[in-house]
Structure 1
Amino acid sequence: MSVFAALHTSSQAMSTQSHVMERISGNVSNVNTTGYKAFDAHLRESVNHVTPKGSFVGVNAVDIRHMDRQGSVLATGRGLDLALNGPGFFVTNPAFDGSGTQHFTRNGATTGRVGEDGNSYLATVSGQYILGWAADASGAIDTESALVPIQLDSTEGLAGEPTTRIAFEANVEAGSTQGHSFEVGVWSSPGENGENARYSLVMSWTPGAIGSNTWTVGYGVRGPDGAVTPLEDTTEVTFNSDGTYATPTETPVLTVPLGEGVSNDIEIDLSGMTQYGETGFVERRQEVDGFPSGRVSNVQFDGFGRLTADYSNGQTRTLYQLAIADFPAPQNLTDVGNSMFTYDTDAGEPLFFAVENQFSRTSVQPGSLEASTVDLASEFSRMITTQRAYSTSATVYRTSDEMIRTAAALKQ
């Protein structure tokens, strides 16, 4: 190798080692960055130049980002922080209407952001909306539908629902000559603002002839003002000789007035009633559908990435399903900083999916974040090796330069 070839090769080596050092420095500076995937800068031989005496090789660096490495999952205690255990990325967009460039990240540190409609939405700490699929009224998720920002709170809240069914269980005293009344809370139909009122259905149990095992149930409605309006409907209930329920076999349906000009048809399931002696009149259970309007009191994700909301009226609803994107070659995504990536055709077509069960290849860990994949000890070891390689190349460069200067001086 000529002295000029040595000069060029050592210069190329220093440039390559400088690039490797830059990647090591970047990894070290991001050791505490959530969701950061470490770089490796591998050395690769390349043809420097070819002469009649042979080919001379140099070296350059090839960057490899290990997107498939799983970082440690660390609990944060914040219910809306998210970590992925397995392949995939959270899907985000800077624009509320989805018109911005879609981004992908493993950084699940979240915050709230007010959307253009005035509601609160789940967002990254850099302000991008986190996307998912909205659930319908029954809580079902359609993963073929469009991705939308995940809403955390609503200015409208949850509208009330009227009572349509009551299941009531109690014991009436066998052989009693005295009646007894039970009350069950029911809800009226909601008005235009979604609010409804609470009433009480009063059930008055009157015994039949001694030994007949028959009771007549009369009904009344106690309004919010405390006044009771009697109903014309009655139900004849009979018991078997052992005190268990016998008839009616069909569930009675009452038309119950709950407000001016408004009535609810309510099923009254009394099949859990019993008639035992020496136990008195004892209520055991009442199960009533319908509820008042309520506001969101708490939201949280589960291990499948489903966002559920608890309301002030005691109801719970599934609101959204977190969307996850995966790629055939995720290392080819375009790095735009802050642990965020954008799509590149070399990454392959994205697959958007939801975590459906515990056997899925990816799981969502709520209240946690994924740590950086940087191994600090390994990075410092590579730093020492790189520094020595750079120093050696610099020595070759300096020696070649001195040889050229000496040759030039002899010529003079």
Structure 2
Amino acid sequence: MSIFGAMTNAVTGLRAQSFALENISDNIANSQTTGYKRVDTSFQDLVPDYPLSQQVGGSVIASSRGTNTVAGNYTNTAVSTNVALNGAGFFVVRDRADTQAGLPIFSQRDLYTRRGDFSLDKNGFLVNGAGRYMVGTNLDPTTGALTGSPGVLQFNGGYVPAVISKQIDYKVNLPAMPVTAAYDPTVADSELLPAASATATVTGANDAAFERNTVSGGNVTLYDGQGAPVTVQIRWGKLANGTTTPAAPDQWAMYYSNPAYDPSAATAATDTMWFSDSNTAATAFEFDSAGKLTKPTSGSMDMTNLKIDGTNPIKFDVSSGLTQFSDVSGQVKSSSVRQDGYPAGKFDGINIESDGRIVASYSNGQTQALAQLEVARFNAPNALKRKDGSTFEETLESGQPLYGLNGGSILGAQLESSNTDIAEEFSKMIITQQAYSANTRVVTTSQQMLQDAINIIR
């Protein structure tokens, strides 16, 4: 190799190490940037085509090497709209191209990012810290099916309408020996509901005697079509204890209050306060000796006098678990008393589930899936073209996007940090500085050798 060749190679080495230092400085500068993917440097030797006996090492060229497949650390946040992607892929986002009437107009070109610090802006769009808008597909609020094509998601808040109650799901344990106000352990069968009180209806005048011989089964609030609450009380009275000879089951009657009963009315004494559809042996709830419900066999019955919509009776469903086991308290122990209606609710905010569904929460405790965010994968993710804001765009080398989580998951209220390791970058910086200094020494040495050659003729 000539002296000029050595100098030329040293210059390419200086250029390559300068390029590497630029990448290192970028990585360090973005070590705290959410979703940033560091850029490593790849070196390639350039060997001239000389005869075998004259081969030389050649010069060098530096190029960038992406680390888009290397995840950063995940950190928890207190923001429900922050998301991180666990697995391969990128969130799909779009830029704002213009503004019209105070609303953004979006570019139709998709961009891709791991930066998930999204939050709702004043117009209801999910925008991340780099000003990119989340892309997804809306869901049918009733069926949960995807509707339409992917686009920038917008959430306008509003209300979820009230749903009328149709069924009570009742899961409790009735005590084998109910301790009522009238119960006297010295008097046989004093825990049973007397025949005089075991009627289909109980008026206000008979309420005191009725309540003395029954135990509370809890309250449940039902809702009409406009979301107005209707509170219904439930009481249980034991009709008969089971026998072995002849075999007979334990029998109970369930009573529910009349929501229209007005204790202040002039007719309160004669008006019906309690209803029952199970007050006789033929209609009673029955339990075997092991405390298992044997009747009704379907696990459900109509509360014929409780019609919230004015037409259809409320269903009383005990199929989830109504039992009769011994309990020293002698009272009904509730596991779950629920109903399927709810009042209207105001939009409170959104959460993002692990499968990418965006779910709205409302003031009435209800939730509703509104959209599905888009996740794109590429066969060659490191061939994506970098853009500002920790975003990338598709290239011919990366291939077209493939959509779906493909075994990955969404981490709600978390963010993915930069994948830059400060310690590693400083180590690279030291090595790069030494390599740069070594190349300058080659240039200095080559210059000295040239000077010596010039001085020969003097």
Q: TM-score, normalised by structure 2?
A: 0.69
1:106 aligns with 2:107: no
Distance between the aligned counterparts of 2:260 and 2:424, measured in 1?
75
8 A contact 2:344–2:364 mirrored in 1? yes
How far is 1:408 from its partner? Answer: 6.1
Distance between the aligned counterparts of 1:13 and 1:206, measured in 2?
94
Letter of the structure 1 residue corresponding to residue 193 of structure 2 = G
Select the residue among 75, 99, 123 that pairs with 2:127. Answer: 123
Distance between the aligned counterparts of 2:329 and 2:430, measured in 1?
85
Q: Which runs of 5+ in 2 are unaligned?
A: 97-103, 179-190, 198-209, 243-249
How far is 1:325 from its partner? Answer: 1.5
Distance between the aligned counterparts of 1:214 and 1:391, measured in 2?
94
8 A contact 1:31–1:373 mirrored in 2? yes
8 A contact 2:35–2:390 mirrored in 1? yes
8 A contact 2:192–2:239 mirrored in 1? no
How far is 1:330 from its partner? Answer: 0.5
Select the residue among 296, 316, 324 that pairs with 2:347. Answer: 296
Select the residue among 287, 292, 302 that pairs with 1:252. Answer: 302
How far is 1:383 from its partner? Answer: 1.7
SS of the residue corresponding to residue 166 of structure 1 reads strand
Distance between the aligned counterparts of 2:313 and 2:417, measured in 1?
56
| CA offsets 1:163-186 (integer angstroms, 9 cap, x no match) | 111245696962333345986432
How far is 1:346 from its partner? Answer: 0.9
RMSD: 4.5
| CA offsets 1:359-380 (integer angstroms, 9 cap, x no match) | x3x2333232222222222222
SS of the residue corresponding to residue 5 of structure 1 reads helix
8 A contact 1:161–1:188 mirrored in 2? yes
User: Measured at CA, do residues 110 and 87 of structure 1 come closer, stay the same or move farther in structure 2, by a change above 3 Å?
Assistant: same
SS of the residue corresponding to residue 130 of structure 2 reads coil
1:323 aligns with 2:374: yes
Distance between the aligned counterparts of 1:155 and 1:281, measured in 2?
44
Letter of the structure 2 residue corresponding to residue 62 of structure 1 = S
8 A contact 1:238–1:245 mirrored in 2? no
Distance between the aligned counterparts of 1:223 and 1:134, measured in 2?
46
How far is 1:38 from its partner? Answer: 1.8
| CA offsets 1:210-254 (integer angstroms, 9 cap, x no match) | x99696968744399x989979x9735325487967459662264
Q: What corresponds to 1:16 in structure 2?
A: 16
Letter of the structure 2 residue corresponding to residue 186 of structure 1 = L
8 A contact 2:378–2:400 mirrored in 1? yes
Answer with 29-38 or 126-135: which moved more: 126-135
User: Measured at CA, do residues 218 and 291 of structure 1 come closer, stay the same or move farther in structure 2, by a change above 3 Å?
Assistant: closer
Distance between the aligned counterparts of 1:11 and 1:270, measured in 2?
85
User: Measured at CA, do residues 186 and 14 of structure 1 come closer, stay the same or move farther in structure 2, by a change above 3 Å?
Assistant: same
Q: What corresponds to 2:26 in structure 1?
A: 26
User: Measured at CA, do residues 381 and 188 of structure 1 come closer, stay the same or move farther in structure 2, by a change above 3 Å?
Assistant: same
8 A contact 1:13–1:393 mirrored in 2? yes
User: Measured at CA, do residues 140 and 218 of structure 1 come closer, stay the same or move farther in structure 2, by a change above 3 Å?
Assistant: closer
Distance between the aligned counterparts of 1:23 and 1:275, measured in 2?
72
Select the residue among 420, 425, 435 that pairs with 1:374. Answer: 420
Letter of the structure 2 residue corresponding to residue 252 of structure 1 = D
1:147 aligns with 2:150: yes
Distance between the aligned counterparts of 1:248 and 1:146, measured in 2?
48
1:198 aligns with 2:232: no
1:188 aligns with 2:224: yes
% identical equivalent positions: 27
8 A contact 1:3–1:404 mirrored in 2? yes
Q: What corresponds to 2:37 in structure 1?
A: 37
How far is 1:318 from its partner? Answer: 3.3
1:400 aligns with 2:446: yes
Letter of the structure 1 residue corresponding to residue 359 of structure 2 = T
How far is 1:292 from its partner? Answer: 0.2
| CA offsets 1:136-163 (integer angstroms, 9 cap, x no match) | 3357454x96334455x54322111011
Distance between the aligned counterparts of 2:426 and 2:110, measured in 1?
35
Letter of the structure 2 residue corresponding to residue 147 of structure 1 = P
Letter of the structure 1 residue corresponding to residue 314 of structure 2 = I
User: Measured at CA, do residues 94 and 139 of structure 1 come closer, stay the same or move farther in structure 2, by a change above 3 Å?
Assistant: farther
SS of the residue corresponding to residue 160 of structure 2 reads coil
Q: What corresponds to 1:193 in structure 2?
A: none
Distance between the aligned counterparts of 1:411 and 1:10, measured in 2?
27
Q: What corresponds to 1:235 in structure 2?
A: 277
Letter of the structure 2 residue corresponding to residue 64 of structure 1 = R
Q: What corresponds to 1:156 in structure 2?
A: 158
Letter of the structure 2 residue corresponding to residue 198 of structure 1 = P
8 A contact 2:192–2:237 mirrored in 1? no
SS of the residue corresponding to residue 146 of structure 1 reads strand
SS of the residue corresponding to residue 19 of structure 1 reads helix
How far is 1:104 from its partner? Answer: 1.0
SS of the residue corresponding to residue 369 of structure 1 reads strand
Distance between the aligned counterparts of 1:367 and 1:247, measured in 2?
47
SS of the residue corresponding to residue 175 of structure 1 reads coil
Distance between the aligned counterparts of 1:78 and 1:156, measured in 2?
21
Q: Which runs of 5+ in 1 are unaligned?
A: 191-195
Larger radius of gyration: 2
Letter of the structure 1 residue corresponding to residue 411 of structure 2 = Q
Select the residue among 308, 312, 315 that pairs with 1:267. Answer: 315
Distance between the aligned counterparts of 2:223 and 2:84, measured in 1?
41
1:346 aligns with 2:397: yes
8 A contact 1:36–1:339 mirrored in 2? yes
8 A contact 1:255–1:263 mirrored in 2? no
